[in-house]
Amino acid sequence: MLEFVDVEKRFGAVVAVDGVSLTVARGASVALVGASGSGKSTLLGMINRLVEPDAGRISFDGTDVRAVERTALRRRIGYVFQSIGLFPHMDVAANVGIGPKVTGQSLSPERAGELLDLVGLDPAYGTRMPDELSGGQRQRVGVARALAGNPEVLLMDEPFGALDPVTRDALGKRVRDLHERLGLTTVLVTHDMAEALLLADRVIVMESGRIAADETPRALLAGAGGSAAQALVAVPRAQADALEVMRR
């Protein structure tokens, strides 16, 4: 579904993405993890042309993304990010329908309601204004908005970063469920290795713009992936061990 071939992106002297080659199969659920500044968001943003590479090629469903018009590409690729950026003067239903509206279509209230239901929000929230929602509810609206164009791919950049742990867990599970039900190909950027291990089928660890490891959660938990990956896995493992000791 997605292919990167020798992709490079520089910002002045900084090499944000340094010769990445990668394929993502249709239906895969991939997490991108790594330290701050390792190039995760830049790599993600090149898929829907928020960021243009300096070298290399990115294909979506077999076509070079540069050959696809940006609005057409973004209809097929839903995008959710941390500061979700709902339009404050538009109600929730209008915010959910903003993508189709940009391409000259309109979303019926029924469809907006269906999308809200899909992300676990009461369809009656469609008439609320964004400032009448909690942070978690706003993120759910962001996911509904990303799904409004029936995308094949869902890109998520730290979508749960600002949420409390309980809401974060619930929304993570909901997104994983939607991934299955809608047959999406999902790429999730997260700082949280535990989240990556629990939600994705494949975990890619970025380090200084390169792929340091590309493993299944099971392989990572069994010790694969090298030192950078294992340093990240050590954090949730140590927490789980500490809790287990307290329980005894």
Ligand X SMILES: Nc1ncnc2c1ncn2[C@@H]1O[C@H](COP(=O)(O)OP(=O)(O)OP(=O)(O)O)[C@@H](O)[C@H]1O
Residues that bind ligand X (CB under 6 A): 11, 14, 16, 34, 36-42, 191
The CA–CA distances, whole Å, from 132 to 99, 136, 148, 160, 163 equal 22, 12, 21, 19, 16
Q: Which CB sits closer to ligand X, 35 or 133?
A: 35
Coil/strand/helix, residue 133: coil
Q: Give helix then strand counts, H and E, for the chain.
A: 10, 10
Name the residue nearer to ligand X (CB basis): 57 or 191. 191
Q: Which is nearer to ligand X, 43 or 121 (CB)?
A: 43
Report the residue number, 14 or 238, with the smaller CB distance to ligand X.
Answer: 14
- Could you tell me the two tokens for 98? 């903003």
Taking the complex as a whole, the smallest distance from the CB of residue 191 to ligand X amounts, in Å, to 6
CA distance 202 to 144: 24
Q: How far is the CB of 34 from ligand X (least distance, A)?
A: 6
Give all strands of the β-sheet with 14-24 in edge-to-edge order: 14-24, 2-11, 55-60, 63-64
Rounded to the nearest whole angstrom, what is the least distance from the CB of residue 242 to ligand X in the complex?
25
Smallest separation, CB 3 to ligand X (Å):
19
Q: Please report how close the Cβ of residue 36 comes to ligand X at its closest, in angstroms.
A: 3
Residue 158, C-beta contacts closer than 8 angstroms, at least 6 positions apart: 81, 82, 189, 190, 191
Q: Of 196, 178, 158, 173, which Cα lies nearest the Cα of 79?
A: 158
**Closer to ligand X at the Cβ: 27 or 161?**
161
Long-range contacts of 102-109 (CB under 8 A, 24+ apart): 102/71, 103/71, 103/75, 103/149, 107/148
- What minimum distance in Å lies between the beta carbon of 84 and ligand X? 16
Report the distance separating Cα 57 and Cα 64, nearest Å: 7
Taking the complex as a whole, how short is the minimal distance between the CB of residue 91 and ligand X, in angstroms? 30
The DSSP annotation for 44-72 comes to HHTTTTSS--SEEEEEETTEEGGGS-HHH
Nearest CB to ligand X, comparing residues 137 and 190: 190
In the complex with ligand X, the residue whose CB is nearer, 39 or 149, is 39
